[in-house]
């Protein structure tokens, strides 16, 4: 049984169990190979569309890698293939929106796969919901952040802490958001992140004295996402 089938079976059981409770649930897949995670997203996307359910959120971890979105270009990689090989960094072209970014250990990844048509949410509104969810969740750990007057993402004192790149297919979302928890920021210096030269970046560990583990942030993100998407 493939991973995506196991997840789909669990979703089906959860939907039956919860009956009228249509809140979004989060599923932690642990460590993932990037291409395998894309296949899982696509299969769950098809299931959500077919069954017309509200959706779910996937979270996972990756080894060090770069993904290039539909607006990105390989010339935004600033190091040679030899350096990439030595550092063990793989590069993947992705069908999400946006440009090039980094994923790796110490980063929080959330992929909401949401039935926007059923929930009557426009794509632009959906991106704002993700931004607001990240801002609300950072605030839970005493971090003031913003997205106004900045490129897409979430920022702390002019430094980017979160990148957003989504794809909408058949009115159901894929991909999502990456938030820097305690990742090694040096990997961003190997690229022009988000196509922005001289971009300053930060992570949660640098911005708060509050203890923040992945499970803590998962709970905060899920709570705030449900509040924002359902206007609770």
Active-site positions read 194
What is the C-alpha separation between 42 and 35, in angstroms, rounded?
11
Please check whether residue 70 is in contact with residue 95, taking contact to mean a CB–CB distance below 8 angstroms: yes
If 0-12 CB within 10 Å is exposed, 13-18 middle and 19+ buried, where does residue 158 land? exposed
DSSP annotation string for 59-72:
EEE--SEEEE-TT-
Q: Coil, strand or helix: which one is 55?
A: strand
Query: Could you say which DSSP state residue 20 is in?
Result: T
């Amino acid at each position: 049984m493939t991973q995506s089938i196991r997840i789909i079976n669990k979703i089906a059981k959860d939907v039956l169990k919860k009956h009228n409770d249509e809140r979004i649930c989060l599923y932690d897949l642990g460590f993932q190979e990037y291409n395998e995670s894309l296949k899982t997203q696509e299969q769950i996307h098809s299931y959500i569309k077919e069954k017309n359910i509200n959706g779910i959120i996937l979270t996972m971890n990756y080894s060090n890698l770069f993904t290039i979105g539909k607006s990105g270009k390989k010339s935004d990689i600033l190091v040679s293939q030899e350096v990439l090989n030595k550092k063990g960094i793989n590069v993947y072209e992705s069908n999400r929106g946006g440009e090039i970014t980094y994923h790796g250990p110490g980063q929080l990844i959330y992929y909401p796969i949401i039935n926007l048509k059923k929930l009557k949410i426009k794509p632009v509104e959906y991106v704002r919901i993700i931004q607001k969810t990240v801002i609300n969740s950072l605030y839970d750990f005493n971090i003031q952040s913003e997205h106004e007057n900045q490129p897409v993402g979430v920022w702390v004192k002019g430094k980017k802490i979160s990148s957003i790149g989504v794809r909408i297919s058949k009115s159901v979302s894929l991909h999502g958001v990456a938030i820097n928890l305690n990742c090694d920021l040096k990997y961003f210096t190997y690229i022009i992140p988000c196509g922005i030269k001289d971009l300053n970046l930060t992570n949660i560990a640098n911005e708060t004295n509050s203890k923040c583990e992945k499970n803590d942030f998962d709970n905060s993100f899920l709570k705030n996402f449900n509040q924002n998407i359902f206007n609770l």
